[in-house]
Amino acid sequence: MLVGVCDFPSDYPFPPAAYGGIERWLWAVAVGARAAGADVHLLGPGWISELDQDWTRKPIRLEDVAAGSLAERELRSSAYDLLIVGHEYPSQPDWVRTWDRMDCDVATFQHSPTFRHSEDAFDGKRSRLYCYSPEMIERYEDHQPIAELAVHLGINEHEPQATAGDDLVWLGRIDSDKAPHLAVRAAQILGRRIRIVGPIFDESYVRAHERLFGAEHVDLTGELGGPAKIAALQAGSVFVYTYARTYVEAGAAVFGETLRAGTPVAALTWRGGTCADAATCDQTGAVAVADPAEGDEAAARRLAEAIIQAEELDHSTVQAIGQQRFDPARHFAAMTTRRC
């Protein structure tokens, strides 16, 4: 099988060094495809040049290819079986025009809860859309979505054997959508230290909660990637997951990253059917469901209870389950399956 993994215009390289969403997913599928025995081409100029020694890299984007051009003839002659692409592209006419001439399947994962696809973007067979959670499946039901847990990887993110850490850890972009102040308050309630890992996307949000983020029990680490990121996850006794009441998590990279590292998850959600429900089980985490009408203090206390529950879980068991459920080769195999 020959697989093309397509980049797209992005502020991050492919694969990104630390933060990044769809970019990390595309790299995980490329790694999984190779592990499953497929030949892989990295399509587009965004893939980092350091990959040239080990990968076939072609700086071609389908949406930029002119009809009848040498580039189009090269793509067609390559005889790809499957293209893996960001979720927008099956709804982009210029991209679809080139893809139609290539006579291959396309698969993508929905990483945005709001993007509107064209009516004929997916047929569940030749063109397939995958979604993480029941609430994402419901949002995109008109496009015949297939349930699947996304896998995300960065370069050199290999998980050593799990160990039980000491403090709490939270990872993600720091803004109001991700609501890490709730994790900080839950840690404070428990008298625990918490490490906040990730880039600050919204300075005004941090200022609005400066008493919490500036408290002695909080370590604002900044953005980490590679072995340092994995080490930060494994140093946690529990990974704390939060998001805002109205936010919908679509791709949820942190669950796979955390569970593969062997760190149990304590998640705060505001409704059922979320990514936290899809990603975890009673052996890998505890999910607290708060009433959106409740204040932050009540929600933080519910989260604190979930942290206590998650802390009882065995890190080796968490890692074994996480590495099976979020295995890149297994994930790629799911991307190749047509519906009957």
pLDDT at residue 5, rounded to an integer: 98
Residue 339 confidence (pLDDT): 66
CA–CA separation, 219 and 194 (whole Å): 6
Domains 2-155+327-335 and 167-323 share a fold: yes
CA dihedral 128, 88, 30, 284 (to 10 degrees): -80
Residue 54, SS3 per DSSP: coil
* Residue-wise pLDDT tens digits, 27-81: 999 999 999 999 999 999 999 999 999 999 999 999 999 988 988 899 999 999 9
Q: Which CATH class is domain 2-155+327-335?
A: alpha beta
Return the pLDDT at 252. Answer: 87
Sequence-ordered strand ranges (E) for 88-185 = 105-109, 127-131, 146-147, 167-171
Per the CB < 8 A criterion, the answer to whether 50 and 41 are in contact is: no
pLDDT, averaged per 10 consecutive residues of the chain (340 residues), comes to 96 84 94 97 95 94 90 91 96 95 95 95 95 97 96 90 94 96 98 96 97 97 92 96 96 94 98 97 98 97 98 98 97 84
Cα-based distances in Å from 22 to 26, 115, 278, 282: 6, 14, 19, 28
**C-alpha–C-alpha distance, residues 3 and 104, integer Å:** 10
Q: SS3 of 57, please?
A: strand
Q: Which residue has the tokens 């893939």?
A: 47
Q: Which helix (H) or strand (E) holds 255?
A: helix 253-261
Give the start-to-end residue ranges of the domains of the chain. 2-155+327-335, 167-323
User: Which pTM was predicted?
Assistant: 0.94
| Nearest Cα to Cα of residue 257 among 198, 335, 337, 179 | 198
Tell me how far apart the alpha carbons of residues 128 and 145 are, in angstroms, rounded to a whole number.
Answer: 7
Answer whether CATH 3.40.50.2000 is correct for domain 167-323. yes
How many C-beta atoms lie closer than 10 Å to residue 55's C-beta? 17
